[in-house]
Structure 1
Amino acid sequence: MRGNAAGWIDMDTTIDFSGTRPSPPLWLLAELTYRCPLHCAFCYNPVDFASHGAELDTDTWQDVITQARRMGAAQIGFSGGEPLVRDDLETLVEHARELGFYTNLITSGVGLNETRIARLKEAGLDHIQLSFQDSTRELNDFVSSTKTFELKHRVARLIKAYGYPMVLNCVLHRYNLPHVGQIIDMALEMGADYLELANTQYYGWAMLNRDQLMPTSEQLKEAEATVNRYRERVGDRCRILFVVPDYFEVRPKACMNGWGSVFLGIAPDGTALPCHAARSLPGLDLPRVQDASLADIWYHSHAFNAFRGDGWMREPCRSCDERETDHGGCRCQAYLLTGDAAATDPVCAKSAHHGQIEQVVTLARRTARDDQVQPLIFRSRDNSLRLG
């Protein structure tokens, strides 16, 4: 497998896996919808989401869930958009739970009232992850372009009242990194068991807003030091996860633990995704669940085999002794920054394109220093139609 000079993926290339059969997917992400009441400027949904096809119906989703479980998938995440806009969410949760899935709802909290959470509890939902945008009403509501701060606090209390582990998520960026200590305090006051402080990954809408969202290295170091102080103080009372943004690393993360290795995503229109941002890769003929079985998609489709293993790698990845650890990094990031999906992830210091990463970080420092504030482009249907 090679990317050609234009960065497109050659669909006619034969891939040799030396007779090995990939392991089955373990994690199924069911992106039930791209509809969402929030308009977050860092959303990873595709910018052109408004032009995608109709959502899968209940029966098709149930069939997808059944197939994934038969293949060996153990955990399912219901996501979006906002999955609570689907009236059949409880039906899908119940179906997944009856099959033996560990079920996880990833939500903004909008739409989760007491009636709904009681029905989800009865359906067997195991886990709820609630997102906040900040510890202050002003920034929380600004970044999502909606007034949801008080609502999220009410939902957090409901989650605790119904016996769920309190799992909070806050996406970090230049605007809220200075508030990390306050965000942790807010989580502790809510009785959070887990707090994921996930620095923005620059795909989708976040890529459009990268120059305004990218923090400085000084902000990041200070925030990480704050997190470490809280970890020492809090101990096991709340597990605090801090995910460093790729742009500040010298080695890439093992994206999805390897392409087509663990993760299987299904988009609202039935498109099967080896990773969240796979739609961004030109020439990758992504299969749909309406046209093929999940097993055929996972094991035999060209899209899911495109970057499996290391046969597609070029130098310096091909001879690198770290290739089994990072799997060459993120294919989507490689394409977005170099125009070539088969290139070494530019996050890696061994990449010939690593200088691009350094330039972006330098620009972030200059922009923040000079207070060069530009309007954010918020996720909305109108903006999607205009930009997509």
Structure 2
Amino acid sequence: MFRVSHYLRELAEAERSGQYPLPRRRGAEGATAPERRAAPSPAPAPLGGGRHAAGGAISGPVVIWNLIRRCNLTCQHCYALSADHDYAGELDTGEVFTVMDDLKAFGVPVLILSGGEPLLRPDLFPIAERALAMGFYTGLSTNGTLIDEALADRITATGFDYVGISLDGLRATHDRFRRLAGAFDRSLHAVRLLLARGVKVGLRYTMTASNAPDFEPLLDLMRAEGAPKFYFSHLNYAGRGNIHRAKDAQFAATRAALDTLFDRAWDAAQRGLDEEYVTGNNDADGPWLLLWLQRRHPDLHARFGEALRQRLQAWGGNASGLHVANIDNLGEVHPDTMWWHHALGNVRQRPFSAIWPDTRDALMAGLKQQPRPVGGRCAACQYLAICGGNTRVRAQQLTGDPWAEDPGCYLDDAEIGLAEDRPRVPLSAFGSQRTVKVPVVAG
């Protein structure tokens, strides 16, 4: 996750004071804070399971936990390929609690409870209540269509730190994406119910070519409704998102959308508005922020561009296998939610705390290596230390090689410091690529 507002607030403070602010430690939601990650080194870094936070304590990854696969929707870009039926073999309440104990001991700071649709899980609220009592920052990721007055009261009483509700466009677009007439009205109603009760709610949006025209109107809707957070997700090639990857927004549209988002976040930062803008699934957003600053505000770039670059290098880009993890409904552990086709182990057989630092798996060994063993234009990119090689899933899905260049990088060759243009991996339609399973090293 790239916390756009964090960096632009720092820039706004620097503009006012004339001095770039010192790094500030953030709370649990900012567990992947830039000041907590060591800058990439020329040699591979230690392949441990956690990272040292302030005070020397070990901090584990943020865990996105798909507690249930069942969903009342069948969205076009669903990485879990969910449907409205039960899935056998899901972790029961006792097993979930046992895993939570291990996660807490391992130093995991954040649990994002997701699905499928997590509100379909009967024990969701006892799980969330226990997570909060244990001190986890606890978020809920939902499509919002099931939230009525009574459920809004229950969510509020539980005390979730954050609730993310997906809106992939205005009414017609969203209903088409979610394959349900009335989905937009129901989700927006949920947003309003929770905001009225004082719950921190964010809008979640995944951009493709077909819903890109609705992006700016959604930003306007966010501000009009008073929602404090907007999460912009690039399409990643997993599940139905992989099947529909030919509809991914092309590079020019992506660049234009990011400019719009950064402009909006800068306006909020300068005006001191309580709005947070974040992006995910394309770590080229970090370098693009530097380029945006150079183009839009050359005076600020001249004064503070190097300080911003250092902050972004400390962030380090893609966190899959490092500072973000996924547990699916069956207890399989993955490097993140987009790697459901690559399991690292099951929490029924081994605790998460044993699975996560285990680098006998070749993919995990490479993800934990700093810098990562990427090839192609990624290896030659001047921003590798900022983006970390970007999203490895797209490379693997299109080429069969998880260390190939990320075909979703929207920066051109001149921008990344290459002397001449190179052929790019094409964004081919699903089914036209060769997929190779990443080998597991015996140990």
1:263 shift after superposition: 1.4
In structure 1, distance between residues paired with 2:84 and 2:176? 22
In structure 2, distance between residues paired with 1:286 and 1:48? 24
1:105 shift after superposition: 0.3
Matched, 1:302 2:360: yes
> Structure 1 vs Structure 2: percent identity of aligned residues?
23
**Number of residue equivalences:** 341
In structure 1, distance between residues paired with 2:283 and 2:424? 10
Give the match's secondary structure for 1:128.
Answer: strand
1:25 shift after superposition: 2.1
Could you say which residue in structure 1 is the equivalent of 2:339? 278
Give the match's secondary structure for 1:60.
Answer: helix
In structure 2, distance between residues paired with 1:318 and 1:116? 49
Q: Cα deviation per residue 1:233-289 (whole Å; 9 max; x = unaligned)?
A: 5544353536487498898999974443211210001101111122334xxx52001
Could you say which residue in structure 2 is the equivalent of 1:77? 112
Matched residue type, 1:63? T
Matched, 1:117 2:175: no
Distance 1:340 1:50, change over 3 A: farther
The 5-angstrom pairing of residues 155-194 of structure 1 reads: 155-194=190-229
Matched residue type, 1:237? L
1:138 shift after superposition: 1.3
Q: Of 339, 345, 349, which residue of structure 2 is paired with 1:291? A: 349
Distance 1:255 1:178, change over 3 A: farther
Could you say which residue in structure 2 is the equivalent of 1:66? 101
Could you say which residue in structure 1 is the equivalent of 2:65? 30
Could you say which residue in structure 1 is the equivalent of 2:230? 195
Matched residue type, 1:286? L
In structure 2, distance between residues paired with 1:230 and 1:250? 16
Give the match's secondary structure for 2:63.
Answer: strand
In structure 2, distance between residues paired with 1:36 and 1:48? 5
In structure 1, distance between residues paired with 2:276 and 2:162? 17
Could you say which residue in structure 2 is the equivalent of 1:385? none
Is contact 1:27–1:262 with CA below 8 Å preserved after alignment? yes
Could you say which residue in structure 2 is the equivalent of 1:367? none
Give the match's secondary structure for 2:122.
Answer: coil
**Structure 2: which 5+ residue stretches go unaligned?**
1-42, 51-58, 289-311, 430-443
Matched, 1:141 2:175: yes
Matched residue type, 1:84? L
Is contact 2:156–2:199 with CA below 8 Å preserved after alignment? no
Distance 1:87 1:328, change over 3 A: same
1:57 shift after superposition: 0.7
Distance 1:112 1:222, change over 3 A: same
Give the TM-score normalised by the residue count of structure 1. 0.75
C-alpha RMSD of the superposition: 3.7
Q: Of 346, 355, 367, which residue of structure 1 is paired with 2:423? A: 355
Is contact 1:45–1:81 with CA below 8 Å preserved after alignment? yes
Give the match's secondary structure for 1:269.
Answer: coil
Which of the pair has the greater relative contact order for Cα pairs under 8 Å at 6+ separation?
1
Matched residue type, 1:239? E
Matched residue type, 1:309? Q
In structure 2, distance between residues paired with 1:309 and 1:354? 26
Distance 1:244 1:301, change over 3 A: closer
Distance 1:255 1:59, change over 3 A: farther
Is contact 1:199–1:242 with CA below 8 Å preserved after alignment? no
In structure 1, distance between residues paired with 2:192 and 2:354? 43
Could you say which residue in structure 2 is the equivalent of 1:241? 277
1:140 shift after superposition: 1.2
In structure 1, distance between residues paired with 2:49 and 2:283? 30
Give the match's secondary structure for 2:326.
Answer: strand
Answer with 228-237 or 27-36: which moved more. 228-237
Is contact 2:207–2:248 with CA below 8 Å preserved after alignment? no
Is contact 1:31–1:80 with CA below 8 Å preserved after alignment? yes
In structure 2, distance between residues paired with 1:305 and 1:199? 25
